[in-house]
Amino acid sequence: MSVGELPPAPAEVALVAGDDLARERLQSYAEFLAGAGVERGLLGPREVPRLWDRHLLNCAVVAPLVPQGAHVIDVGSGAGLPGLVWAIVRPDITLTCLESLQRRATYLDEAIAALGLGDRVAVVRARAEDVARGRAIEGSLRADVVTARAVAALDKLAGWTVPLLTPGGELLAVKGQSATEEVESARAIMDRLGIKSIEIVQCGVGIVDPPTTVVRARKAP
């Protein structure tokens, strides 16, 4: 397999996608990422051979943490990870992709249309820090769950995401090996922002290796 060639979907897809439609949409999204995503610089060509394990499954295994029927904001959505993956495998949720760059927002709009998700997924072009301060869009944007993947260190990310949570809502920040250190560095600011519990969760044990590390932080009700 050459660099940039999309491998076939692994058997583990059946464990995260509940029906044929979800599996078909994941395949379509993988092809979209490997094509338009690479062409427009949202995904490096060397990521394509490991697209399933490192990106799609890595995101999909976190979706069970999202409450039933939740509204989710994906901050710095970029190529749509993890937000579009969650919208595919969780047809009960609604999603707002929050993205500041026009070319990425355009890509997301096209992906949403191609995947048939337009009834549940929308794109808002704005900076998360401006939305958090209530000055970027008309009205307020709040959600039951806010997520981000590879956007910023947790101490900075907290200021952009926690204000977007409804009371009792959760931040699900997809992180790497530095999660423990980031939590300690961000604990004081998260306390000030009203976070009452923080835990580090390993998602997808037995499905992805290594499991996906998520910082799960709940806002006071």
CATH of the domain at 29: 3.40.50.150
Residue 127 sits in which domain range?
13-219
Please give the tally of structural domains in the chain.
1
Percent of the chain with pLDDT over 70: 95
* Bridge partners, 198 (sequence order): 217
Instruction: Indicate whether 6 belongs to any domain.
Output: no
pLDDT at 132: 76
pLDDT tens digit string along 10-48? 999 999 998 999 999 999 999 999 999 999 999 999 999
Residue 156 lies in a domain: yes
Angle subtended at Cα 155 by Cα 205 and Cα 53, rounded to the nearest 5 degrees: 25
In this structure, is residue 213 part of a structural domain? Answer: yes
Mean pLDDT in residue range 78-103: 96
Kindly state whether residue 145 falls inside one of the protein's structural domains: yes
Of the given ranges (48-52, 73-77, 135-139), which has the lowest mean pLDDT?
A: 135-139
The 8 Å CB, 24+ separation contacts for 201-204 are: 201/65, 203/61, 203/62, 203/64, 203/65, 204/57, 204/58, 204/60, 204/61, 204/62
State the pLDDT at residue 128.
83
Q: What mean pLDDT is predicted for residues 124-148?
A: 81
Is residue 8 one of the residues assigned to a domain? no
Note whether residue 95 is domain-resident: yes
Banded model confidence at residue 1, pLDDT cuts 50, 70, 90: very low
Q: Is residue 5 included in any domain, yes or no? A: no
User: Average pLDDT for residues 100-123, to the nearest whole number?
Assistant: 96
In a domain, 60, yes or no: yes
